[in-house]
Amino acid sequence: MNHRVSPKAGARRTHAERSAATRQHLIATAIDVIQHRSLEEMSIHELAKSAGMTSGAVQHHFESKAVLMMNVLSELIESTVRSGELWPSPALSARERAVKFVQAVWRLVYAQPRFIVAWNIYLGCRNQPEVLGHIAELRQSADLSTLPVGRRVVVIGGGMTAVDAAVQSRKLGAEEVTIVYRRGAEAMSASAVEQQWAQTNGVTIRHWAAPKEVLSEGGAVQGVRFAATALSGGKLVETGETFTLAADMVLKAIGQTFVAEPVGKGIALEGGRIVTDAEGQTRLARVWAGGDCRVGGRDLTVEAVEHGKVAAVSIHAALTA
């Protein structure tokens, strides 16, 4: 279609361009309302008022608040992708990559106001199946080949984290995924159901093997050498046999251990876990702990989130006292 060009006004925008610009204006306004007020206040009427439009005009572009929220979430995700490079160069050392990745995630995701907006929408729309379905779609990559996951992945460990890492690697496109555990199936902290779930998703589980060496060439992982293990006199021992699994990605999921050197006896332990009060505060000033690393903490994400919420309130009270 040809359009006349006015020498004074310049090229006129098409109807599609004007409509797209209006939709972007409404999405940006919605984000601003949620960020500075709340999701509850973000009604079609309030959006129209804040955007300088009528409610009918807003509904011409977004028929309901749910549809609007789905478009807002899409924009939040896409803007995060556009804002910068998240994955550091593979030419850097492992330590440099780790530092740069954490810095990039903070700068591009967590420090951004849109992160809080996205979580407000997610938590506020838990009872809206269409929005939750849209969120599930946004979490999936359209092109699995672009994801930084290996083709042959070895996961070292025997718990739920190992199973999750292995299954998700498989779902993200890894061709071969193997969990390797130093004892038998009955000793794995991952339940029999979880082990079966991993195997159903194409994950191989190998027992009675301990990692000895990560093999590399030119700065890239090539495989892992394992020593076969067995029980002798109630103790785990190596049999003398070894084998190697080819891998271009190795994931370690062997739990966590508190390293006391930086804080000395300031952090009290009980049974290897951190002692805290009901608010998560440790015996070391200005340090809080939560999740299953603290005494009484269960291996449940929801409980760790609750600990974080309670600790955040306690931290705020301590800082503003």
- Report CA torsion sign: 27, 29, 35, 39: negative
Helix axes 44-51, 65-82, angle to 10 degrees: 60
Which pLDDT belongs to residue 67?
85
Q: Are residues 102 and 168 in the same domain?
A: no
Q: How distant, in Å, are the alpha carbons of 80, 123, 156, 185, 203 from that of 192?
A: 39, 32, 17, 8, 14
Does the pTM surpass 0.85? The reply is no
Q: Are residues 111 and 159 in the same domain?
A: no
Spatial separation of the C-alpha atoms in residues 235 and 246, rounded to whole Å: 29
35-66 residue pLDDT tens: 888 888 888 999 999 999 999 999 999 988 88
Q: What is the CATH number of the domain that holds 22?
A: 1.10.357.10
Read off the DSSP letter of residue 286.
T
Whether residue 161 lies inside any domain: the answer is yes
Domain boundary among 227, 252, 277: 252
Whether residue 269 lies inside any domain: the answer is yes
Q: Are residues 134 and 20 in the same domain?
A: yes
Q: 3-class DSSP state for residue 152?
A: strand
Spatial separation of the C-alpha atoms in residues 191 and 158, rounded to whole Å: 10
Domain boundary among 210, 226, 252: 252
Whether residue 97 lies inside any domain: the answer is yes
Whether residue 167 lies inside any domain: the answer is yes
Q: Which residue has the tokens 């049999």?
A: 239
Q: How distant, in Å, are the alpha carbons of 61, 256, 276, 282 from that of 293?
A: 49, 8, 10, 12
Q: Are residues 112 and 214 in the same domain?
A: no
Q: Nearest 5°: phi and psi at 197?
A: -60, -40
| Structural domain for 177, as ranges | 149-252
- Highest mean pLDDT out of 98-102, 253-257, 270-274: 270-274
Residue 282 pLDDT level (bands cut at 50, 70, 90): very high
Q: Are residues 28 and 125 in the same domain?
A: yes
